[in-house]
Structure 1
Amino acid sequence: MAVDFSRVRVLIVDDNGYMLTILRTILHGFGIKQIFESKDPADAFDMVRSDAVDIIITDYQMEILDGLDFVRLVRTADDSPNPLVPIIMLSAYSEKSKVMSARDAGVTEFCCKPVTAKEMFSKIASVINEPRPFIRNKSYFGPDRRRAGADGAAYKGPERRKASQKVGADTEAGGDGSDASAG
């Protein structure tokens, strides 16, 4: 089945010009025509405020304002026009602590570099076709961090919340949103 991404508007934020070129080429290969690019996360946030984007792809480690700070800005700044926009983070660092930091900042999906076209397609299709509900509590705002296990079953461990509340709720039942099972 063919997928039509021609109307999807993507913002790429990466301070490496070579990586911008690679991602642009991959996205063009998917038929994405509206691609915005920025090497500076602060400028990228201005672009988010002035141009409606459907997906943001950002690097983890950048100078001055890193990818985590950029994600937090998009998710929680008073002047962020779309805190619910899907954000895919790229990183050459795949340690569990980095992935969890990205998740806790509000990243929707995480890809390790070098990124492949297949992986990028999978992440973009996932954020479009299987959007996750958003959670708000005292210490977190972003996509629900809980994921089903490899067997498709929901996590049932000791930190499992008794109930979840979607966007608009002040707290999540059972805790502060620091569910260590997600990832």
Structure 2
Amino acid sequence: MTTGASPPGVAQAKGQGVVADRSAESAAAGKTETPFGVLSVLVVEDESFTRMVLAKMLGTLGVKAVHQAADGESGLAAVAAHAPDLVLCDVEMQPMDGFGFVRTLRASADSRQRTLPVLFMSGRVDDDRKAQAHASGADAVLAKPVTPASLRDALGIALGAGLKAGQPA
């Protein structure tokens, strides 16, 4: 089911639909396979503890591969090295912040990098931040601290944006 409203903790930057989370129903039915098992995700976050927590949450959700980078510059290198399907990116980092990271991706000669889904994570998710995210090319903004539920919803946004519909995994 796709809805026009963002779930709590996920603010849309480009107005894409949200795929309803059915993982609780699957768990209750004894199914462990998730729709996220085909995903490769890059986490770009300057706080090592937060990176570790996000990587563990992604693993628990069944994500196939999780890569990590400590800032925008190393994130760009990780995108080139690992070709992830989705990027979770902190906004406030040094020396290159999330806005610079996604603007560089969108200006890339590589068409895959220009369309790579990027979900920002920020402690501030107001209209100004959402407008900045949209202007830079990000697909959505997740409120920090990211929770397992908001992370599932964010992955649902990525699936709704086309990963499930045939983009390479």
Band the TM-score falls in, shorter-chain normalisation: 0.7 to 0.9
* Counterpart residue number, 2:48: 17
Percent of aligned positions that are identical: 24
1:83 partner SS? helix
Task: Please tell me whether Structure 1 or Structure 2 has the larger radius of gyration of its CA atoms.
Answer: 1
The aligned runs of 1:1-183 (5 Å cut-off) are 1=22, 2=26, 3-78=34-109, 81-131=112-162
> TM-score, with normalisation over the residues of structure 2?
0.72
Residue 80 (structure 1) shift = 6.7
Question: 5+ residue gaps in structure 2?
Answer: 1-21, 27-33, 163-169
TM-score normalised according to structure 1 size? 0.67
> Number of residues paired by the alignment?
132
Cα contact 2:122–2:144 (8 A) shared by 1? yes
Q: Quote how far apart the aligned CAs of 1:73 are.
A: 0.7
- State the distance in 2 between where 1:80 and 1:45 align: 14
- What is the CA-CA distance between 1:66 and the residue it aligns to? 0.5
SS in 1 for 2:42: strand
> Is the 1:11–1:35 contact (alpha carbons within 8 Å) kept by the matching residues of 2?
yes
1:15 touches 1:62 (CA, 8 Å); kept in 2? yes
Q: Comparing both chains, which one has the higher relative contact order based on Cα–Cα distances under 8 Å and sequence gaps of 6 or more?
A: 2
Which residue identity does 2:103 align to in structure 1?
A: R
Q: CA RMSD in A?
A: 1.8
- Using the alignment, how far apart are the partners of 1:80 and 1:22 within structure 2? 31
Partner Cα distance (1:81, 1:55) in 2 = 11
State the shift of 1:130 in Å.
Answer: 4.0
Contact preservation (8 Å) 2:43, 2:87: yes
Stretches of structure 1 that go unaligned for 5 or more consecutive residues are 132-183
SS of 2:146's equivalent in the other structure is: coil
CA contact (8 A) 2:44 2:75 kept: yes
Paired residue secondary structure (1:82): helix
